[in-house]
Structures are given as C-alpha cells and as structure tokens.
C-alpha cells in the first residue's frame, strides 16, 4: 500500500470526475523546503514562523527573518508560500521573556498571536517588512492568525500598509499586490466571516484552534481528548458557513489544521467546498490517494448527508466507511 501511495503521489491531485484539488504543505523551518518538493506539494499553505522566535530567547532581527522567508519563497517559486505572522503565546510562549509573555491562567484565551503583534508593533513591523521583502523573490502571501473580528483585521492591515509605504519610499522591492488573508480559527471570526471577506484575499481555517474554541475543549488536555470531535455538528455547521461566506466573497477557502491531513476527513472537507488542504508533508500521499480514488460528486453527497446527521460518532463512521470503500 505504501508504494501505491508514493506512486500515486507523482500524479496530479484530481478526483475521478476531473475536479482538481490543491494540496499544500505546512512547514516551520526553511530546511523543510526539500520535503515540500519531495512530497510534491503545490506550495506552502501554512508557514508557521514561530520557530525562529522559539529557538532562542532573543527576538530575531528583520534581516534574519528576511533571509529565512526568502529561502522558502525562492526555493519554492513559482509555487505560493503562505507566511503566517507570529502566533506566539498560548501554548507557545517565548522562553526567557517574562516581560513579553507574562504568565497567564488561560494561555489559549490569552495574550497570543495577532493580539500580541498589535501591542508589540515594533516586533510586528519587523516581521511584516521581512515578509514583504521576501515577496520580491517568489509568490508570497501573508496570513494573520487568531483574527477575532473585523477591527483586528483592519488594524493589522493598517500596520501592513504603513510597512509597505516605508519600503516603497526607500525603494526596497516587494510585491505590491501581495495577497493578505486571515486564519479563521476563532468562533467570532467564523460568525462574522461575511464582514472579514471584503478585506481578505483568502481564508484559511485553523481547525486545531477552531474546534477547541467551538467545543470548549483544550486541544492539549489529554483528560478530555476524547471530547475533541472534528465531526461535531457545531464544527461542521461552522465550516459550512465559512465556506459559504468565503465563496460569496470570491475567496479561496483552505483548511490548514490537522484535520486537513487526515484522509478520513479530506473527502468531507472537499465535499463541503473547501478548495485547498494544507498539511504536514508526509500526509500528502495518503490524502492525494483518496482524492484520486473518489468523485467530487460522492464527496458532496457525503458532506450533505453528514450535515443532516446528529451524532459525531456516526458521522465519523460514515467518513471512515467512505474512505475504506476506496482504498
């Protein structure tokens, strides 16, 4: 089976009824570029940029960041690379920096990601300039994590516009039409996706956080891990809503949480209209395999049926049966 998987991975990601699907890679470090190419990903759908910040207690300079982002953009050009701005805090505080990251009782609901960046705009600006400069070397997109509503998006975009005029006035090259999108991973963003869409070039759904916040299940607490249900009806209804609002605004809608890399869930997500799945590179062959073994018509029927059901466990069983019948 393993060798069948790897063989199919050389083929395009197209369903049996001819619908192309975009399969992208999640990475954390520039040296993963080779892995992205080896696994035949269509690009990077999520570049988590925390690594440079977590690998030392020092905040990396604009130049250090630029070199890292440039290496990825250049190494994968002309394929797109979605660079996510800092998502520090929560489960990822920077060590040795209690003044930047004071201890919190509820880190997942705390001073994290875009909230941190909007308060520490010096750090945010350095990163945005580094990403913009890298955009001159490939196809770069910017993505904000943990957006919870339109005001945050507008504030982040204002800082970005400022960084752009700064570079422009200094004659530093960058992609002036760089696409900018939001992660949809906070329920309030999902609920107001129609308000976010006009100011986004794309949506990328972070199911890891979205599920934990919808269900109030800490994603890293083993005691309640069995209650963390990607097929919970509330999750599926939320996904459907995000896709509908994204598509109404003519945006591409991706999923970049763990759910995207599970071949049991991939047909359900694609059947709901998700345009692109982004996952750890080693998962790409098994997701591509099921994409090539199914029709989009069947995946749509699966999603429609799942949305009529009321038991997360039965929905999971249905997805699993769909998968087993095709591999």
Per-residue tokens: 51: 């690594």
Q: Does 257 bind ligand PEP (CB under 6 A)?
A: yes
Q: How far apart are the first and last CA of the chain?
A: 9
Smallest gap, in angstroms, from Cβ of residue 258 to ligand PEP? 7
Beta strands per DSSP E along 102-176: 139-144
In the bound state with Mg ion, the residue whose beta carbon lies nearer, of 87 and 175, is: 87
Alpha-carbon gap, residue 225 to 218, rounded angstroms: 8
203-242: which residues touch ligand PEP (CB under 6 A)? 206-209
**C-beta of 185 vs 245, nearer to Mg ion:** 185
Give the interface segment with ligand PEP, choosing from 136-144, 202-210, 290-298, 311-319 (CB under 6 A).
202-210
Q: Would you give the binding string for Mg ion spanning residues 132-171, x where CB under 5 A is met? A: ----------------------------------------
Is residue 48 involved in binding ligand PEP (CB under 6 A)?
Answer: yes
Task: Give the residue, chosen from 209, 258, 262, 275, that forms a contact with Mg ion under the rule CB under 5 A.
Answer: 209
Which is closer to Mg ion, CB of 206 or CB of 230?
206
Helix residue ranges, H only, the chain: 2-8, 33-38, 51-54, 62-76, 113-119, 121-134, 150-169, 187-191, 193-196, 207-215, 233-248, 266-271, 284-293, 296-308, 312-324
Please report whether residue 32 would count as binding ligand PEP according to CB under 6 A.
Answer: no
Look up residue 146 and give its two tokens: 């943990």
Q: Is residue 230 near Mg ion by the rule CB under 5 A?
A: no
**Cα separation, 298 vs 159, whole angstroms:** 44
Which of 30, 89, 206, 312 touches Mg ion (CB under 5 A)? 206
Angle separating helix axes 296-308 and 312-324, nearest 10 degrees: 160
Which 165-204 positions form the footprint of Mg ion (CB under 5 A)?
A: 185
Give the separation between CA 134 and CA 20, rounded to whole angstroms: 29
- Which CB sits closer to ligand PEP, 183 or 302? 183
CA distance 128 to 97: 21
Site string for ligand PEP, 83-122 (x = CB under 6 A): ----x-----------------------------------
The residue count for the chain: 327
Distances (CA, A) of 24 to 136, 204, 281: 21, 12, 8
Give the binding site for ligand PEP (CB under 6 A).
46, 48, 87, 185, 206-209, 256-257
């Amino acid at each position: 089976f393993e060798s069948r998987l790897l063989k199919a991975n050389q083929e395009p990601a197209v369903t049996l009824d001819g619908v192309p699907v975009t399969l992208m890679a999640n990475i954390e470090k520039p040296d993963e570029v080779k892995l992205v190419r080896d696994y035949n990903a269509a690009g990077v759908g999520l570049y988590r940029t925390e690594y440079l910040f977590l690998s030392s207690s020092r905040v990396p300079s604009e130049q250090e960041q630029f070199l890292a982002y440039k290496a990825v953009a250049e190494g994968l050009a002309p394929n797109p690379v979605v660079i996510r701005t800092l998502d520090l805090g929560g489960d990822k505080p920077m060590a040795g920096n209690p003044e930047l990251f004071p201890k919190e009782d509820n880190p997942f609901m705390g001073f994290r990601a875009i909230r941190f960046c909007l308060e520490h705009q010096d750090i945010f600006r350095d990163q945005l300039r580094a990403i913009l400069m890298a955009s001159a070397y490939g196809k770069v997109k910017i993505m904000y994590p943990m957006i919870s509503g339109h005001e945050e998006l507008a504030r982040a975009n204002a800082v970005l516009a400022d960084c752009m005029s700064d570079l422009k006035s200094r004659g530093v090259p960058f992609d002036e039409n760089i696409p900018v999108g939001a992660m949809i991973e906070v329920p309030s963003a999902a609920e107001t996706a129609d308000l976010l869409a006009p100011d986004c070039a794309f949506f990328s759904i972070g199911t890891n956080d979205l599920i934990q916040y919808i269900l109030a299940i800490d994603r890293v607490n083993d005691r309640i891990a069995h209650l963390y249900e990607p097929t919970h009806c509330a999750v599926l209804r939320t996904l459907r809503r995000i896709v509908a609002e994204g598509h109404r605004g003519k945006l591409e809608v991706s999923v970049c949480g763990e759910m995207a890399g599970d071949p049991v869930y991939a047909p359900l997500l694609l059947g709901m209209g998700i345009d692109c799945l982004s996952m750890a590179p080693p998962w790409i062959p098994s997701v591509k395999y099921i994409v090539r073994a199914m029709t989009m018509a069947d995946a749509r029927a699966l999603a429609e049926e799942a949305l009529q059901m009321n038991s997360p466990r039965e929905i999971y069983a249905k997805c699993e049966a769909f998968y087993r019948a095709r591999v």
